[in-house]
Structures are given as C-alpha cells and as structure tokens.
Structure 1
Amino acid sequence: MSKSGGQYQGSKKRLAKNTVLLYFRQILILAVTLYTSRVVLQVLGASDYGIYSLIGSFVSLFNVISGAFVVAITRYMAFVMGEGNVDDMKNLYSTSVWIQLILGGGITIAVIISGIWYINNLMVLPVARIDATTWVLVFSAASFYIGLLSVPYNALIVAHERMQAFAYIAFVEVSLKLVTVLILPWTPFDKLITYGALTVFVTFIVRLLYMWYCQRHFAECMFKWHIDWSLFKDMMKFIRWAFLGNGAVTLKEQGISIIMNLFLGTTINAARGLANSVNGAVTSFINNFIQAVQPQITKMYSSGQHEAMCHLICLSCRFSFFLLLFLSLPVIKNIDYILSIWLGETPEYTNIFIVLTLIDSLVNSLSAPMLYGTLAEGNIKVYEIVLTITYVASLPISYLLLWLEISPVWIYVMLIIMRMMIQSYLVWQGKAYGMSFSLFGREVLWYVLPVALVATLVGCVVDLSGLINMQMLCFIAETTVLLMAVAVIIVLIGMRGGERLALWQAVRQKLSQFKA
C-alpha cells in the first residue's frame, strides 16, 4: 500500500473514532440542555427567562463576525500542522491569540455599547428590570469574549484531532451547568443577575480547562508578545471574505423571515422557527461528523496529498448524507404524528417547512466536505462572492413570490435549488486541488442517489397500522423497521466492497471483545 493510501486508511479510522466521541459529547450536551432549560424557566419565570433569551439572541448577532475568526483560525491551524513546522505553529498560535484579544475585545465593547442603547431605546421590558437586564448584557458579553479567547485552543485540539478532549471537558461543563441550576433557587440575590454571573463563571472555568489541556499536550501552545504581521494580514484577508459569506447567510435567514412576516404575519414565523429547531436538533449530529473530518482534509492539502484528499472528501460527502438520511427519514415520514405529540396544535405550514428544511440539509451535507476542500486551498474570495450573490438574490425572489400570492412553500424549493447551484460551483472550484464532476459523480452521486431513492420507497411502503392498533406502538415499530431497512440499504448499496468488509471486521472484533 502506498504512503498516501495508508494515510487515507488511517484517516478513515480516526474519522470514525472522532465522530463517535463528538456524538457522545453532543448527546450529553443536548440532554443536559433540555433539563437545565426547564429548571431555569421555572426559577426565573417567563418574563425574566424571556429577557435572558432576548439578550442572548442580541449578542449572538455578533457571531457573524466571530464565526469568521473561527473559520480562519481553524483552517490555518490545520494547514500549518499539515506542513509540520513547529515554529510556524508557534507564530500562528500567538498571532491567533492577538487577533482574539484585540479584535475580539473591540467587538465585545461594541456589543456592550449597542446593547445598552438597545435596552434603553428599543427593548420592551418592565422599568424595574432595566438594571438587571443591563447586568445580563454585561455578563453575556463577557461570556462572548471568553468564548472568543477559547477559539485558538479549540482550533489546536481540532487540528491535532484530539476529540476526546472535547468529550472530557464537555462532561465537566455540563456538570457545572447542572450545579448552577441546582443552586440557583437557593441564592438570596436577584435570580436573573445571579444566573448571568454563574454562566460567566462556568464559561471561564471551561476556558481555563481548554488552555490547561493545550499547554500540557501541545508544544506550540506558547504565547509570544511578538506578532507576525505578515501572517496577521494574510489571516485578516481570509477573515474578511469569510465574514462576507457569514453575513450573506445571516441576511438570507433573517431577511426571508422578515419578508414572510410582512405578507403572512407572525404565525408563519412560528412555523419557520419550529422548522429550524427540528432541523438544528437533527443536523447537530451530522455537524460532529463534519467537524471530525475538517482537520484531515486541510492537513492532506497542505502536505500535498491531493489525491487522497479528494477521496476523503468524496467519502465524507457520502457518509454525511447517509448519516443525515438515517436520522431524518423517520422524521419526514412521521412528521404529523411527531408534531401532534410534541406540540399538539401547530401553525400552518409547519410540517412541510420541516420536511423541506431537512431536504435542504441533505443537499447541504454533500457540500460541507467540499467547502472544507475550498477552505484548505485558501482561495475563498470567488466562492464567498458567489454565495453572497446567490443568497442576496433569494430576498427579492422571495418577495416576488409572496407578492404574486404564491405559496411560501416555493421559497423553500427555491432555496434547495440555490443550494444545488452552490454545490455545483464547489465541485467546479475543486479542480484547483484535483476534484472533478466525473470523480464526484463516480464516488458520491453513484451511491447517494440510489440509496436515497430506495430508502424513500421503503419509507412509503412501511405501514404497520393494520397490524398494531396503538398509535404510539405503531410509530415505534415503524421507526425501528425503517431505521433497520435504511441501515441495510446503506450497507448494500451505499458502501463499496472494501468498506463493507472493513465494517464486518470491525463488528466481529467488537463482538469477540464483548464475548471475552
């Protein structure tokens, strides 16, 4: 086996291990979040909980900027590590910290100043809670800044593919959050202010843990007072274009919501919000898989393994689609029943919005690994411009559709088509590192399309209502049968012979270990 092929096989093993670790982390965080949200709502009350959520939403608007920092620093960390130069890694680490200290500090000050203006001029709240709300803003901004300072450390962990660190620290984080909500009812101080202060404390402790882990395990984690201005300027160019794309995505999401509200009122926003919530819960698991593969793609590019990188991208496209299909198909099939037991009555269009949003995410699952290939190559200017033009164009088109009294369902159809266009462009731009439409067709679409077709047909056929009278038992039985069927379809149709053999050997090994 060639060196490139051996590293490709090793990448697949690390990818599987890291995905499992990140899945564990996500399940743990999701479970604790569901519990703590309920307790905090009970302790704070609806009004104060609404204040806390609204301030959180306001601060999160600035994630458009911080998200560009995350993309740039994570990319550069993995890229330089692939080159294997420790001195360059040290310079990159220090420069990244300086970027977060200086620019992140400026953004945080902007958050506080604009937030105070928002609280005193636009926000509707009881006069008696203005001071408490201002404190919550300050605490939220502090948490935001601490989170920014954690980015270089998180990027180092991702670049080194030490995903177990995320799992371990996540356990500490959720434990601290549980302690927070347990002691909150017993504090003699203002509950809203106390909760904000405790949240900052938890964020700070978690940040210290990431810093301690990195300094203990990574030699390049050494802060210098010197800034590599050449690297700084190069990273700022990357951040500028990443910010353009992030801004376009935010503009598209918020703009369409505003346009829908203008024509159809608040109930359509409720349906859209529920669709985004369901989609976020489902896709959070696939995002862990994508996060695990990103550093491998970047390091392969920087070390010149372009052929192995293309194969890994195609493999990631296939399995990200399969994982999301496995999770979303039961939701799509039983969406009406799921909504009935979850919410009871739902706004009009909720069910079809959820279905189309999940389909959009399925299409997007094919493009995420391709995007990491483009980020690794570094020439993101044209891609971000194409993304911005496409998403900005969605706003007047959405307005025109609703002005013509066409169903808002077609807005989602339009967004799916735009997603396909962006996916096609990513494949075309991939020629810079060896990707081609023929390779993408052979290694991705040749497997993905038959699996999607057969799985959908099976989903339409599976109906146990004639055998099981109780609706809940019927739902559980149908979901179980469908999941098993989709898994078999993926193995038989979606996997190559060598991949099936590797899967079978892994299963046999685990079974033998279990018996022993």
Structure 2
Amino acid sequence: MKEPQVKYQGSKRRIAKNTLLLYVRQVLILVVSLYTSRVVLNTLGVDDFGIYSLVGSFVAMFGVISGAFVVAITRYISFAMGEGDLEKLINLYSTTMWMQILMGGGIFLLILGAGVYYVTSVMVLPAGRIEATLYVLVFSAVSFYINLLSVPYNALIVAHERMQAFAYIALVEVLLKLAVVVVLPLLVYDKLIVYGLLTVVASLFVRWLYMSYCRRNFTECEFRRHIDWPLLKDMMKFVQWAFLGNGAVVLKEQGISIILNLFLGTGINAARGLANSVNGAVMSFTQNFIQAVQPQITKLYSSGQTAAMCNLICVSSRMSFYMMLLLSLPVIKQIDYILELWLGLVPEFTNIFIVLTLVDSMVNSLSQPLLYGTLAEGKIKVYEILLTATYLASLPLSYILLAMGHSPVDIYILVIFLRILIQVFLIQQGSRYGMEFRYFSRQVFFYALPVAVLSGSGTYFLDIGSMEMGVVRFLLETSVIMAVTLLIIMTIGVKREERGAVLGILRSRLQKFFG
C-alpha cells in the first residue's frame, strides 16, 4: 500500500485544537475531583463515604450496557455526518433518543430491582443505614438514567468536533461540584441522602446544558415521534456485538481481581486498585487525543476517503503512543518515591503492578485508533468474538499460573501478551478497509519501537549523582526524562513533514507571543 497523498490539514488543526480543549477539561475535572473527594470524605465520614462508593460501584457495573450504546450512537452519527445526509441525521437522532428512553428505562428498573436485593441481602452495613443506602441507590440509578439520555447529545458534539462545548460545560460542572461540597457541611439533615440528591440535581442541570447547546447549534437535533425501525434494527445488531466486547473487558478485569483475591487476599486487590488509579490518571490525558480523532476517522471512511483514513489511523497510533510514553516514563522511573509521598504505607506489589499496567496501556494506545477504524467499517462481529475469547481465556490461564505457584506479576505479563494478540487481530481486521499489515508496521512500528527503546534505556540509566531523593530531584528527573524523550520523538519518531509542521506551529506561536 502506497502512502496516500491526501491533504486534510484542516482536520489536523481541529484535532490539535480539540485535544488541547479536552486537556483543559480533564485538568479541571481531575483537580476538583481530588479536592471534593477529600471534603466529602471528611463530611460524610468513612462509613457513609464507603456506602456511597460501594453503591456507585454497583451501579457502574451496568455501564457495560450503556458503553455499547455510546459506541454505536457515536459511530452512526459520525458516519451519517460524513455522508452529509441531513434527513438521515434527523431520523438517526430521533431513533437514538427513543432507543435511550426505552432501553434506559429497562436498565433503570433492572438496577433498582437488583440493587434493592443487593442492599438488603448482601451488603454489610452499619446499624440503621439501610434506608439511607436505598435512597443513595435510587439517586445513583436516576443519575445513571440521566447520563444515558444524554449520550445522543454528547455524540453530536463529538461528531461535530465542538470540543469547546465540553470544556465550557465542564467548567460549570466543576463549579456545581464545588458548590455541593461547600453547602453539604452546612445542612443538618442526613448528609449521605442530601449528597446523593444534590448530585442528581447537578447532573440534571449539566445534562440540560448539553441538550440546550445541541438544540441551539445543530439542525439535526429535532425529536420526532416515529422510529426508523430498519435503522434501529441495524443499530441493535451493532450494539449486541459491542456489548459482547465490553462485557468481556469487564469480566476480565473483575475476574482477575477475584482470582488474585482467592490466592493472595485483599492486600493484592489494594495494590491492583492503586495501579488502576495511577493508570487511569495517565490514560485520561491520552484518551482526550483519541476522542478528538475518532469522528475524523469515521467521517473519512463514510465519505470514501479510506486512504486518508488509514494515514490518519497510523499518525494517531504513533502520537497516542508518544503521549503515553512521555507521561509514563517519569512515573516508572520514580514510582517508589511517588508511592511513598502519596501513600506512606505501600501494599506489596504496588510498584511493579503500576509499571506493568502502564506498559499494557502503552501497547493499547497503539491499537486504539485501529479499533475506531474497525468501528467505522461497521463489521465488528469477528473482532468482538476474538476479543471475547481472548479475554475470557485470561481467567483460567491466570488461575492455572497462580495454582502452579507463579507470582502475580506473571498475570500482568500474560495480560500484556494478550493485548499484543488483540492488536494483531485489529490489524488483520484493518485489511477490510485497506490497512495492510506491512503498511501499518512501516508507518507505526518502524518509528515507535526505536523511540521506546532509546527513551526507555535513557530513563533506566539516568542518574543525577549523589542528589538526595526529594521534590527537587523528582522535578529535575521528570524534566530531563520528558525533554530527552521529546527530543528523541522529534528526531526519529516523526516524519520530516510532520516535524516541519510542528516546528512551524511553534515558530508562529513564539513570533506572535513576542510580537
């Protein structure tokens, strides 16, 4: 496959701008979440905070269902926009709204039915807190339903690449969360119940903002009474396969946690939970870039520009990997100091779990744009079956390894190997829309692997001499690692025209800044 000579500079500029806006949004949410979590914990107390977190985790399990709808709706809206058919977009919007109303109502009732049994028969609660816990369950279920109804609006914003809407509304959401934690200590009623209610009110207001923005800015945001049944049937076929894959991911994550607990107790789960928290914080920033790229991939496919789509997938795979590498290497190098500063008392295996989880996410970052190419093509049945079989196979294999006396570290190595296998599946699926294995290897692996080896080696052998470990050394090492990694990326990790474009943007910004 020859490298396509397709120009889509406007798309690249939009991707860069949207990524920056999503970064700002993520930083705001991250900072406020850290602060509000601390205030809520102090206000509610350990027991009530634990109740709220546990109920929230129970409701979040049903996210595997909503996740499949999110994937389907985002794909179909972006595809229709690429075709430029306004009437189809209007029908699609109305049909997805009806789908969310009806399916969401069923999921809402399922959460309440299973939740009441879980709270009254399974959960171990402090005396006299069953009633308050049931209130929290209802509030959490209502919030879940509200968020489900907002999926078509969020999909429209992503498809139109109006990421500034996410950034601005995130600012309002941040202010609402701050208002809740300020008001909460002043109230005399049961604070757990009040906090659940205020969270629903804030969520409802934020979703109203998304709805108002879409109805004001997008002409296709027109709700009709009729349902396009052929379209709904086609979407449900897509949803069922997406649901299969999402379910396999959840089963893999929860199943491995249960197996580790069976052999090694709760301490190992604490280490795994901390590793997932650190990995989630790092990945949240790279996911913003991927979210900005996704609608472009779908639109290019729907408009018949498959060569440009393959080129964008390859560029996005490299760039998302570089972002993950740039953020992960300082954490890997200084993981012991970070854990000591953050936790004090560190559960066994936490450091190596974090390192291997970050490596797994770096491998995943290479394949994420490939996944969006497969979703754009629409025929996901084979991939989802292979994904499900691979992830489910990790459970008996993990059990066998631990039963044979292997270290839990070997489980993480197994997961990385399976991740690489899934990446091979995605590249093979890419042949359906023109992505040849040789082309992807030449455009991605040829650049990314040398960057990873050189940057990783430089990080491993970095030594600041006799300087004592502390904040100053931490900041100095982080700066050196990121600077060296960035230099290696710009030298051998990008093509000449990409390097020239980046330097040109920096030059113009500096000239503008200095007048």
TM-score w.r.t. the length of structure 1 is 0.98
Alignment partner, residue 505 of structure 1: 504
C-alpha deviation, 1:470, in angstroms = 5.2
Alignment partner, residue 30 of structure 2: 30
1:493 to 2:492 alignment: yes
Alignment partner, residue 168 of structure 1: 168
C-alpha deviation, 1:345, in angstroms = 2.2
Q: Which amino acid aligns with 2:511?
A: S
Cα deviation digits, residues 426-464 of structure 1 (max 9, x gap): 101101111011111111001000100110111022211
Alignment partner, residue 474 of structure 2: 475
Aligned to 1:174, what secondary structure does the other structure show? helix
C-alpha deviation, 1:159, in angstroms = 0.3
Q: Distance in 1 between matches of 2:166 and 2:5?
A: 29
Asked whether the 8 Å contact 2:238–2:380 carries over to 1, the reply is yes
Alignment partner, residue 89 of structure 1: 89
Asked whether the 8 Å contact 2:161–2:292 carries over to 1, the reply is yes
Q: How does 1:335-350 map to 2 (within 5 A)?
A: 335-350=335-350
C-alpha deviation, 1:257, in angstroms = 0.6
Q: Which amino acid aligns with 2:485?
A: V
Alignment partner, residue 439 of structure 1: 439
Alignment partner, residue 101 of structure 1: 101
Q: Distance in 2 between matches of 1:76 and 1:396?
A: 36
Aligned to 1:94, what secondary structure does the other structure show? helix
Alignment partner, residue 194 of structure 2: 194
Q: Distance in 2 between matches of 1:376 and 1:189?
A: 50
C-alpha deviation, 1:126, in angstroms = 2.2
Q: Which amino acid aligns with 1:54?
A: L
Alignment partner, residue 10 of structure 1: 10
Alignment partner, residue 260 of structure 1: 260
Structure 1 stretches of 5 or more lacking a match?
A: none
Q: Distance in 1 between matches of 2:472 and 2:251?
A: 43
C-alpha deviation, 1:5, in angstroms = 5.2
Asked whether the 8 Å contact 1:25–1:170 carries over to 2, the reply is yes
Alignment partner, residue 60 of structure 2: 60
Q: How does 1:107-122 map to 2 (within 5 A)?
A: 107-122=107-122
Structure 2 stretches of 5 or more lacking a match?
A: none
C-alpha deviation, 1:508, in angstroms = 1.1
Q: Distance in 2 between matches of 1:397 and 1:150?
A: 39
Asked whether the 8 Å contact 1:465–1:474 carries over to 2, the reply is no
Alignment partner, residue 356 of structure 1: 356
C-alpha deviation, 1:7, in angstroms = 4.7
Cα deviation digits, residues 321-376 of structure 1 (max 9, x gap): 00000000000111111111111121111111110000000000011000000000
Cα deviation digits, residues 51-103 of structure 1 (max 9, x gap): 10001000000001010010000100101110000000000000000010000
Q: Distance in 1 between matches of 2:169 and 2:110?
A: 30
Aligned to 1:285, what secondary structure does the other structure show? helix
Q: How does 1:45-56 map to 2 (within 5 A)?
A: 45-56=45-56
Q: Which amino acid aligns with 1:60?
A: A
Cα deviation digits, residues 126-162 of structure 1 (max 9, x gap): 2311111111111110000000000000000000000
Q: Distance in 2 between matches of 1:396 and 1:323?
A: 34
Q: Distance in 1 between matches of 2:493 and 2:6?
A: 23
Cα deviation digits, residues 242-287 of structure 1 (max 9, x gap): 0000100000000011111111111111111111111001101011
Q: Distance in 2 between matches of 1:484 and 1:222?
A: 49
Asked whether the 8 Å contact 1:8–1:312 carries over to 2, the reply is no
Q: How does 1:147-162 map to 2 (within 5 A)?
A: 147-162=147-162
Q: Which runs of 4+ in 1 moved over 6 A?
A: none
Q: Which amino acid aligns with 1:92?
A: L
Cα deviation digits, residues 148-205 of structure 1 (max 9, x gap): 0000000000000000000000000010110011011111211111100100001000
C-alpha deviation, 1:288, in angstroms = 0.6
Q: Distance in 2 between matches of 1:355 and 1:188?
A: 45
Asked whether the 8 Å contact 1:169–1:209 carries over to 2, the reply is yes
Asked whether the 8 Å contact 1:161–1:295 carries over to 2, the reply is yes
Alignment partner, residue 138 of structure 1: 138
Asked whether the 8 Å contact 2:47–2:126 carries over to 1, the reply is no
Q: Distance in 1 between matches of 2:228 and 2:469?
A: 67
C-alpha deviation, 1:6, in angstroms = 5.9
Asked whether the 8 Å contact 1:75–1:298 carries over to 2, the reply is yes
Alignment partner, residue 284 of structure 2: 284
1:177 to 2:164 alignment: no
Identity %: 63
Alignment partner, residue 129 of structure 1: 129
Alignment partner, residue 393 of structure 1: 393
Asked whether the 8 Å contact 2:6–2:308 carries over to 1, the reply is no
Q: Distance in 1 between matches of 2:135 and 2:287?
A: 33
Asked whether the 8 Å contact 1:282–1:327 carries over to 2, the reply is yes
Q: Distance in 1 between matches of 2:337 and 2:118?
A: 41
Q: Distance in 1 between matches of 2:33 and 2:500?
A: 39
Q: Distance in 1 between matches of 2:6 and 2:514?
A: 31
Asked whether the 8 Å contact 2:150–2:207 carries over to 1, the reply is yes
Cα deviation digits, residues 268-327 of structure 1 (max 9, x gap): 111111111110011010111111100000010000000000000000000000000000
Alignment partner, residue 378 of structure 1: 378
Q: Which amino acid aligns with 2:272?
A: R
Asked whether the 8 Å contact 2:6–2:307 carries over to 1, the reply is no
Q: Distance in 1 between matches of 2:469 and 2:40?
A: 35
Q: Which amino acid aligns with 1:512?
A: Q
Alignment partner, residue 21 of structure 2: 21
For the aligned residue pairs, the C-alpha RMSD in angstroms reads: 1.0
Q: Distance in 2 between matches of 1:239 and 1:31?
A: 34
Q: Distance in 1 between matches of 2:491 and 2:7?
A: 26
Aligned to 2:209, what secondary structure does the other structure show? helix
Cα deviation digits, residues 105-134 of structure 1 (max 9, x gap): 110111011111111100111231111111
Asked whether the 8 Å contact 2:70–2:151 carries over to 1, the reply is yes
